[in-house]
Structure 1
Amino acid sequence: MGTEDRRLRERSTRHRLILDTARALAEREGWEAVTTRRLAAEIEYSQPVIYKHFASLDDLTEAVALEGFGELAEALGQARRAAGPGDAVHAVARAYTAFAAAGPALYDAMFTRATRLRFGGDDIPEQLAAGYIELHQAVATIAGDQDVETLTEVFWAALHGLTALTRNQRLRPGHEDERIDLLVSQLRG
């Protein structure tokens, strides 16, 4: 059993190395730079080793995105719990935009690159659902008589839009906090 355990640990270590290297390379140079040839060179393994872990680069991107959704859920949850009910929406909005700004390539894998990951339906991956739940719980603190589901979707869409427009320098720089303040005040009604 010792040999099998070692092989499993080595496989897990290679898997982690591939994911970490893809993420780092994407953050440095963009997703276009993430190719099996480039990954193989970076991690010093052959391309077939990468394909033993991920059948395609799309599968690799989805694995990165799922990790990102888990990390986003954690960041949103920490912000929500630290803020308390009166300021939960504000804290979650700031955590969301900070998360996106800290890892633009990760955010792209999660939200802008084509994947098979879907939020609607019965087979939502746990990591996707967890992030939405954090948004929902924050919005529920201010929803009042409004439909919490719809308000959460609007909040999320607005955060994503602000994030994308800010990243692409389509909005005035230096006004991010003002925009979040306005968004939250509008949600409160």
Structure 2
Amino acid sequence: MGVAERKSRERAEREQRIVAAARAIAEREGWEAVTVRRLAEEIEYSQPVLYSHFENRTAIVAAVAVEGFKEIGEVLRSAADKAGGPAEAVDAVARAYLDFALGHPALYEAMFVLPTDLRFAEADTRAELRAAFDALAGVVTPFCANAEVAAEAFWAALHGLAELERSGRIRPGMRGERVALVVRAVVGAEG
């Protein structure tokens, strides 16, 4: 391995360590506890080293969010693949989405709540974000002529349910009924 390859690998490893530490702190104590100073202390790097990898805290949150989109995309594809048919795939993906959101609150917050420069539906949308969206679009495609719009509506419904459930603003124990209603809306859709 050449010097340049080694330095590149070491840089990538440092970045991954920073992202992992940010995620761990956020999962333990919430995102308000994640600061550049705290991260530097946690991983025993100087603050300038962190700034050489990430411009600011927002960039670190975005890096955590990208990991989350990669993970949720894998979870949703796996749920769809295990389903017995197209309608069952919509149901499985909806349940997997909600389980992910509620099982990884800090990660979900980085993905969808905290400000980042990550954008969907643009020419330069990152592959991880696009793949997660495609996992949603893939299950609604058999039922909707305009799969992109249907996937956006499906995603919006799931996100709304996740946020309302995460904040305790809807009745506990009714997730199954809510998911069934969303799935019926997608599966019964025409056009």
Q: Give the TM-score category using the shorter length.
A: over 0.9
Q: SS state of the match for residue 141, structure 1?
A: helix
Task: Give the whole-Å Cα distance in 1 for the aligned partners of 2:67 and 2:78.
Answer: 17
1:81, 1:88 within 8 Å by CA — same for their partners in 2?
Answer: yes
User: Are the counterparts in 2 of residues 118 and 124 from structure 1 also a CA contact under 8 Å?
Assistant: yes
Task: Report runs of 4+ in structure 1 exceeding 6 Å deviation.
Answer: none
Structure 1 residue aligned with 2:72: 72
1:82 has 2:82 as partner: yes
Instruction: Quote how far apart the aligned CAs of 1:187 are.
Output: 2.1
Question: Does the 8 A contact of 2:87 with 2:187 survive in 1?
Answer: no
Alpha-carbon distance, 1:150 to partner? 2.1
Identity of aligned residues (%): 51
Q: Distance in 1 between matches of 2:138 and 2:7?
A: 42
Q: Which residue of 1 aligns with 2:110?
A: 109
State how many pairs are aligned: 187
- Number of the residue aligned with 2:176: 177
**Aligned residue in 2 for 1:30:** 30
Matches within 5 A, 1:1-189: 2-83=2-83, 84-143=85-144, 146-189=145-188
Structure 1, residues 146-167: CA drift from partner, whole Å, max 9, x if none?
5322221111100000000000
Between the aligned partners of 2:159 and 2:107, the Cα distance in structure 1 is: 14
- 1:8 positional shift: 3.0
**Counterparts of 2:125 and 2:3, CA distance in 1:** 36
Gaps of 5+ in 1: none
User: What is the CA–CA distance in structure 2 between the aligned matches of 1:14 and 1:148, rounded to whole Å?
Assistant: 39
- What's the offset of the Cα at 1:3? 4.3
Q: Structure 2: how far apart are the matches of 1:161 and 1:67?
A: 21
Instruction: Work out the CA distance in 2 between the residues paired with 1:3 and 1:147.
Output: 50
Residues in 2 aligned to 1:10 and 1:128: alpha-carbon distance in whole angstroms: 26
Gap runs ≥5 in structure 2: none
**Is the contact between residue 88 and residue 141 of structure 1 (CA under 8 Å) also seen in structure 2?**
no
How far apart, CA to CA, are the structure 2 residues paired with 1:182 and 1:132?
21
- Secondary structure in 1 aligned to 2:59? helix
SS in 2 for 1:116: coil
Amino acid at match of 2:131: A
Output the CA distance in 2 between the equivalents of 1:86 and 1:58.
Answer: 38
- Secondary structure, in 3 states, of the residue corresponding to 1:10? helix
Deviation at 1:10, TM superposition (A): 2.6
Provide the C-alpha distance between the structure 2 equivalents of 1:125 and 1:7, rounded to a whole number of angstroms. 25
